[in-house]
Amino acid sequence: MTTDRKTTTIQDVARIANVSTATVSRALSAPDKVSEGTRARVSEAIRATGYTLNQAGRSLRQRSAKTILVAIPDIRNPFFSLILDAIEREAASRGFGVLVLNLYFGHETIRRLQDFLLSNRADGLLLLDGSVDMHMLRELAEQAAEIPLVVACEEIPNSGFHTVLTDNVEAAERATQHLIDLGHRKIAHLVGPDHNVVARERLVGYLKALNRAGLPALPEWQLRGNFDMESGFAASARFLGVADRPSAVFAANDEAAIGFLSGLRNHGLICPRDVSVVGFDDLGVAAHYAPPLTTMRQPRETLGRMAAEALIDLVENPGVIAAPLRIVLRSELVVRESTSRAQIQVTAKAAEIVAS
């Protein structure tokens, strides 16, 4: 049986040889650690599938591939542009190339991730997605024990992986506190996707700020969605249907905030006169939207540079970082025109008294 070389993976070889991908990797990188019978089955499977190792990748064991693999959850998301640029600049300054793998397509892309690393086409992995299946990562780490891994942007709790991220809980607290300081007492939150660790952390920060101020956090004020404009736009209609409508909103990211602002405008509400809105990330569009968006600015360039720096340090000097690295960068509150002081609500009775 012959398979197109372009689509043949190490998993195909393992399946035909009836062994694990880890065994295939060992048979290729350390044949003395594999029995003669197993080596023969792997060799036959390689011939049958047409699987070949990239010759440049073979030099990985001598640390001369000079390439890092960056895996991101969705390459279409503009949030990652500055991070990827900083990673590429840092890598280039140290003589490394960068491969980018889009994890958006799910399980099949995870197989590609395994193939990149187990076929020795990259020296290390920089993972910008905290939702990747932990079992898969553990298995991958076991299969490619010498491949350094750094997780950035999104922490994988209790993983023990080297991590570079920003202060999501604290920054969400400060974003919510900004609205509290402006006199808002009913504050809603556009929540990110349930499966995403960053969304969960920002929800925690929002709730901590309200709890500290003794303010209510009603479930109907927590509007579920995704990190995109469409979900923010949809949330605006649900927001208008809330009986005890808040005067301010903290959105889990800028895209959701901008979609929400667009929806408010379609329904005749004006920001910040009717509703103050705070975003998160400080995307390039945030400063140029109408109104310019108050937001938490993540130090994305610094994050990308430091993550690439840590990974390449691990590649060039294995064991240089003994304990798991955990770098937490501080976000900055950028105040623009989408937030203002809360309007004083005057009751009808009070209005009569004032008029008299």
What would the CATH number be for the domain defined by 168-299+333-348? 3.40.50.2300
Are 256 and 232 in contact by the 8 Å Cβ rule? The answer is yes
Are 42 and 61 in contact by the 8 Å Cβ rule? The answer is no
d(CA 314, CA 123): 10
pLDDT at 60: 38
d(CA 99, CA 160): 24
Cis peptide before 291, with omega less than 30 degrees from 0? yes
State whether the Cα torsion 319-307-177-275 is positive or negative.
negative
pLDDT at 299: 97
State whether the Cα torsion 34-36-41-47 is positive or negative.
positive
**CATH second-level architecture of 1-52?**
Orthogonal Bundle (1.10)
Are 155 and 320 in contact by the 8 Å Cβ rule? The answer is no
Low-confidence ranges of the chain (pLDDT < 50): 1-5, 54-63, 345-356
Domain boundaries, the chain: 1-52, 168-299+333-348
pLDDT at 313: 92
Q: DSSP string covering 183-218, please?
A: T---EEEEE--TT-HHHHHHHHHHHHHHHHHT----
pLDDT at 48: 81
* CA–CA distances in Å: residue 311 to residues 40, 114, 143, 162, 242: 36, 18, 19, 9, 47
With 0.75 as the threshold, say if the pTM is over it.
Answer: yes
Main-chain phi, psi angles of 56, to 5 degrees: -65, -35
> What SS3 class is residue 245?
coil
pLDDT at 108: 65
